[in-house]
Amino acid sequence: MPATTVPYAPHYVPAPPTKEDLEWADLPIIDISKAATPEGRAELAPIARDAMHTHGFMYIVNHGLTQAQNDRIFDIADVAFSQVSDEEKKQYAGNFKETGLYSGYKLRQYWHIDNGVRDQIEHFNMHHGIYDRQEYPKALRPFLPEIRAWSEHNHYNILHPILRLLARGMELPEETFVNIHNFDAPGETWARFMKYYPRSEEDEKNSKNVWLKGHTDFGTITILWSQPVTALQILSPDGKWRWVKHMDNALVVNIGDAMEMLTGGFYKGTIHRVVQPPTDQRGYPRLGTFYFALSDDDVKLVPHTESPVLQRVGVKRRCADEDAPTMEEMRKGRTRSYGQTVLKKREDGNEEEFVSGIVVKHYN
């Protein structure tokens, strides 16, 4: 048989890692390859439980892709930005306010950050099925089989093992959360390629160097493929912002609001933000690849009160069970409103809005 020709993508070269001495977040590291056996899951479950209960963030290593395979996905991701004209990007821009789902391009300056400053961030968002419902710019079309394989790898080989560990951590049946994260069920888990561009000094000053305000994600689990440009910070339990350090071929995984609601507050949706990188990385773009997991659309976001752990430690609800939104209602409300609504200032200087029956806070 003739060899399959791999479509060409220009090699993306990221910035060198920072050499600055920063205050790093001390996050646990999970070797997800151990989750393939019952003994390994028994070993990892307490570590994942404590990580997501205390920090809401952790690193994942040994996830099944080599560094070369990871580099290839970043090469493909950059095609969406460097090989597509601004005019064509507009043709494939998503109408998030109307549809309530992330699909297609989010163009620069769509979101308001602060003091009249608008974002310098481009996304290309894809339903996790990749071929479902969506059209693609010409330059990306040759890579769709590889993107689909990457999406499936995120779902089955990373997301599902994490969900099993989190269920074990709450003394629930292992498949409890897996069963509500079906690849083929109606739902809007999505893959995202994302590129931050350097900003003007005036924008940095007016936004106090914040590129994306402190927020929590609205889904269940976010998988971020680590990249060298240091800009992500998390709000630590002691109230300090700390930087998330890059690890080669590792993943940064965090809990979102939907999982916090499903677990009665036991797993925490931790506040995080993106800020101007350290001095030695300024002037570089920041390319990222993400997998944003949501439960199936019809899942009502109420706590799993059958968990023996919740019965011991108590349940923290974001709203009354009868008022809880479904995953579909939650993601439509948050997608439509983010960066588009007028936020209410609080006495502490932070801001909030009310979406799908839930108070959503934005941290300055």
Tell me the pLDDT tens digit for each residue of 289-321.
Answer: 999 999 999 999 999 999 999 999 999 999 999
The confidence band for 1, taking pLDDT boundaries of 50, 70 and 90, is: very low
29-323 classified as CATH 2.60.120.330: yes
DSSP 168-196: HHTT--TTTTGGG--TTSS---EEEEEEE
Tell me the pLDDT tens digit for each residue of 102-157.
Answer: 788 989 888 778 888 888 899 999 999 999 768 999 999 999 999 999 999 999 99
For the chain, list the strands marked E by DSSP.
29-31, 57-61, 104-106, 112-114, 117-118, 121-127, 190-196, 210-215, 221-225, 232-235, 241-243, 251-255, 272-275, 286-293, 344-345, 351-355, 358-362
Q: Which of 62-66, 115-119, 170-174, 214-218 is least confident? A: 115-119
Q: Which residue has the tokens 């597509």?
A: 84
What does the domain layout of the chain look like in residue ranges?
Answer: 29-323
Alpha-carbon distance of 50 to 73, in angstroms, equals 31
User: What pTM did the predictor assign?
Assistant: 0.92
